[in-house]
Copies of this chain bind each other. A is one copy, B any other.
Amino acid sequence: MSGGPDTGVIGVLLVDDHAIVRRGVQAYVASVPTLRVLGEAADGQQAVELLHQWQTTGEPLPDVVLMDLQMPRMDGVAATAAIARAHPGVKVVILTSFGEVERVHAALAAGAAGYVLKDADPAEVATAITAAAAGEVHLDSAVARQLARRMAAPQAGLTSLTSREREILALVAQGHSNRDIADRLVISERTARTHVSNVLSKLQLSSRTQAALLAIREGLISPPA
Contact = CB atoms under 8 A, between A and B. Distances in A.
Nearest to A120: B19
A121 B223 CA distance: 32
Can you tell how many copies of this chain the complex includes?
2
Nearest to A208: B209
A46 interface: no
A223 to B, nearest CB: 5
Contact of A223 (B21, B23, B216): B216
Contacts of A217: 224-225
Given A175-B213, A216-B224, A217-B224, A28 B23 contact: yes
A118 interface: yes
Interface residues of A, number: 42
Interface in A174-225: 174-175, 177, 205-210, 212-214, 216-217, 219, 223-225
A18 B213 contact: no
27 contacts: A18-B118, A19-B119, A19-B120, A19-B121, A20-B21, A20-B119, A20-B125, A21-B21, A21-B24, A21-B118, A22-B24, A23-B27, A24-B24, A24-B25, A27-B27, A172-B209, A174-B213, A175-B205, A175-B207, A175-B209, A208-B209, A209-B209, A213-B224, A214-B224, A216-B223, A223-B223, A223-B224
